[in-house]
Amino acid sequence: MYAYKMGRVPELVICSFIVVSLLVIHFFSDLLRASLGGYYNQDVTLSQLVEAQSSDYAWLLKLLVNCFGYSCVFVPGFLIYKYVGRINYLERGNQTILHRAINMCITGNSGHDQLDAGGSSTDKDRPAASVAPKRTSSQEAVQLLWCFGGLMVSYLTWGVLQEKIMTQHYLNFAGESAKFKDSQFLVFSNRLLAFLVALAYLQWQPSPVRHRAPLYKYSYASFSNIMSAWFQYEALKFVNFPTQVLAKSCKIIPVMLMGKLMSKAKYESYEYVTALLISLGMIFFMSGSSDSSKASGVTTLTGIFLLSMYMIFDSFTANWQGSLFKSYGMTSLQMMCGVNLFSSIFTGASLSMQGGFMDSLAFATEHPKFVFDMVVLSICSAVGQLFIYHTIDVFGPVVFTIIMTLRQAVAIMLSCFIYQHSISVLGIFGVLIVFVAIFLRVYCTQRLRAMRKRAEANKPKMAV
């Protein structure tokens, strides 16, 4: 009996870490709420108090509040990680639910199931894509077109629906109109549905691939993805239109630089040249197809900082996911499930702490048309994520970034076609540069591949 009670002590300590951390974080959030004047008005949420601030540094306050919400996950997780390592908790034999959950988060299914440094694994555990013979050029082209078309359709539809939800008025049962304002709740619903879809498919998969990656590694991609989106939206308030164009068009370059820093990736000279050409062409095209009457405001140092943080986090996300695919050989669905699990936890914790959760749920119960639009939006987001992870898995983060950069050009061309907007000569010249750069990249890739095949064929064979 005594041994049983002593065996329960680590579980009690772990639970106390979670409870005490949440209490301390909520205590500081209450202090912040009181300092913003919300102590006397309990009906106003913390997020509404932050939005009411008109200071030039209100973005810093928003970042602080969001980090408070995310710390509800990070702080207990860090304390538990340190504690279980110190007492060798995972080496104990008591296989409780908490023990198995912590084991999956920190080590994965089992320590020796991971891929070794060379990336080898048994054929039984390896994904089918990694043991299948190499695809021909025509098969690769079809696969690339499939990824390109899937990303285009899903995210163009997603963008239209998101604008509709955030701009239109919804009628409740009494006929009164109201506008939905909490974009973070949309992110939460998108991530939650994507997680449930991926989890359901994995559960019903006839021959699932064994999952080996520690769950906590997904949290890095999830956090960087959330932060890149936040920095992007905030930066738009502090930069002018040409700066926005420059940042959105040149995303390929920081992705390649981050790949060299993180994964020691090596790129050929033509890849750098084509990346610069695509970026230059996109700058010309987006500048030549913009409405100068809507370009207002100036670029500040704050805007440059926010834009730089957006590009750093965005580049990290794709490269980190690419490195996970190489290191652990998981499937696209497993990646989607893991990343969206942590994204749901992060955004849910932040919404709960800021007080926007119940308000959004109340709005959803009173406006059924909003619920329908939100579900369709979440489905588009889930389908788009499937194509994202599949593209990164098959072609890598650089090709994925090129596709997403071209998506902006397609969106502008569709807008010009539907709403009869004009494109200047500079814009047309930019489109030509982009297509020449893509053709040059494909040609050089095929030529380099053919040269390597010839060199391999001419290599003298060793005697057996």
The mean-pLDDT minimum among 40-54, 290-304, 384-398 falls in 290-304
Q: What's the pTM value of the predicted model, to 2 decimals?
A: 0.73
Q: Which residues pair with 170 in a beta bridge?
A: 178
Dihedrals φ, ψ of 296, to 5°?
-140, 170
Cα separation, 109 vs 213, in Å, equals 8
pLDDT on residue 341: 92
433 pLDDT above the threshold of 90: no
Dihedrals φ, ψ of 419, to 5°?
-105, 15
Closest CA to 379 of 218, 161, 148: 161
Cα separation, 318 vs 262, in Å, equals 11
DSSP 349-375: HHHHHHTHHHHHHHHHHH-HHHHHHHH
Distance of CA 171 to the CA centre of its chain: 32
458 pLDDT above the threshold of 80: no
The mean-pLDDT minimum among 92-106, 139-153, 231-245, 315-329 falls in 231-245
Three-class SS state of 461: coil
pLDDT on residue 49: 74
Tokens 């555990």 belong to residue: 125
pLDDT on residue 355: 73
Closest CA to 311 of 323, 301, 303: 303
The mean-pLDDT minimum among 266-270, 419-423, 434-438 falls in 419-423
133 pLDDT above the threshold of 70: no
Q: How confident is the model at residue 114 (pLDDT cuts 50, 70, 90)?
A: very low
Q: Please tell me which residue, 57 or 400, carries the higher pLDDT value.
A: 400
The pairing of strands 177-179 and 169-171 is antiparallel
Q: Cβ distance 190 to 379 under 8 Å?
A: no
**Dihedral over Cα of 374, 375, 380, 385: its sign:** positive
Q: Cβ distance 267 to 256 under 8 Å?
A: yes
The mean-pLDDT minimum among 199-213, 289-303, 363-377 falls in 289-303
Cα separation, 412 vs 290, in Å, equals 9
- pLDDT above 70 covers what percent of the chain? 77
Q: Please tell me which residue, 263 or 174, carries the higher pLDDT value.
A: 174
Q: Cβ distance 231 to 309 under 8 Å?
A: yes
Distance of CA 402 to the CA centre of its chain: 16
Average pLDDT on 55-66 reads 78
Three-class SS state of 178: strand
Count the residues in the chain: 464
Highest mean pLDDT among 20-24, 137-141, 403-407: 20-24
Cα separation, 22 vs 76, in Å, equals 8
In order of 269, 270, 448, 449, 453, the CA distances from 443 in angstroms are: 13, 10, 9, 10, 15
Three-class SS state of 179: strand
Q: How confident is the model at residue 115 (pLDDT cuts 50, 70, 90)?
A: very low
Q: How confident is the model at residue 6 (pLDDT cuts 50, 70, 90)?
A: low
Tokens 């506008």 belong to residue: 179
> H or E segment at 169?
strand 169-171
